[in-house]
Amino acid sequence: MDLTQLRNQIKDSESRWNMKYLAFDKRLREIEQELLLPPYARLSDVIKWCEKLIHYEQKLELMRQSTLTLSRETWIKLEKKVLESYTEDQKSISILSECVCFLVNLEKKYNQRFYVFLNFLDNCMRYVRSYSEDLERNGLSITGILSKAKQLGSMYWINGKSYQTKLEV
C-alpha cells in the first residue's frame, strides 16, 4: 500500500471516529439537559427526576460499553496494521504512529467527557439524597422511587461507574 493511500485511510478513519465522539458528546449533553434538576425543586419534580435517572442508568452503561468496544476493535486493527507495515518502511510507521497519538487523545476525550457527566450526576444525587433525608427528618416516610434514588445516591458515580475504571479492566 502506498503512503498516500495509507494516509487517506487513516484520515478517513479519524474523521469517522471524531463523528462518533461528537454523537456521544451530544447525547450526554441531551441527557444532562433532561436530568437538570431545578434548584428549588418540588417533591413531584424530585420524584420525576429520580424516575428519569433510573431509566437512564441502563442506557449509560450501554453507551459506556459501546465506546469500550469501539476502542478495543480499533486498537486491534491498528496493531495489526502497524505489525504489517513494520517490515515495509519507516514512513508507514510514522503515519500509523500519528494515528496512535490520535486514538490516545480520543480516548482521553471520551474519558474526560464521561467524567464531567458523572460529576454532574454526583452533584444531582447529593441534592436528591439530602432532600430525601430532610423529608425523613421531618417525619415523612420515603418509599418507592425516592427510596431507590436514595440507594443510588449512596453510590459515588465517578468511581462506581467510571469509564476509566472499566477501561483499565
pLDDT band at 26 (very low <50, low <70, confident <90, very high): very high
Q: Grid coordinates representing 72?
A: 478495543
Question: Environment class of residue 163 by beta-carbon count within 10 Å: exposed (0-12), middle (13-18) or buried (19+)?
Answer: buried
Distance CA 61, CA 69 (A): 12
Supply the DSSP symbol for 133. Answer: H
**Which has the closest alpha carbon to 164: 111, 121, 127, 85?**
111
**Which has the closest alpha carbon to 103: 163, 4, 20?**
20
Q: Grid coordinates representing 25?
A: 458528546
User: What value does the mean pLDDT take over residues 34-55?
Assistant: 83
- Check pLDDT > 60 for residue 158: no
- Check pLDDT > 50 for residue 169: no
* Residue 150 φ then ψ, to 5°: -65, -40
User: What value does the mean pLDDT take over residues 30-45?
Assistant: 84
pLDDT at 103: 82
Distance CA 141, CA 130 (A): 14
Put simply, whether the predicted model's pTM sits higher than 0.75 gets the answer: no
pLDDT at 104: 83
Q: Per residue in 48-91, pLDDT tens?
A: 888 888 888 778 777 777 776 666 777 777 777 766 666 667 77
How far CA 54 is from CA of 97, 133, 168, in Å, comes to 42, 19, 26
Amino acid symbol at 126: R
What are the structural domains of the chain?
Answer: 3-168 (1.20.58)
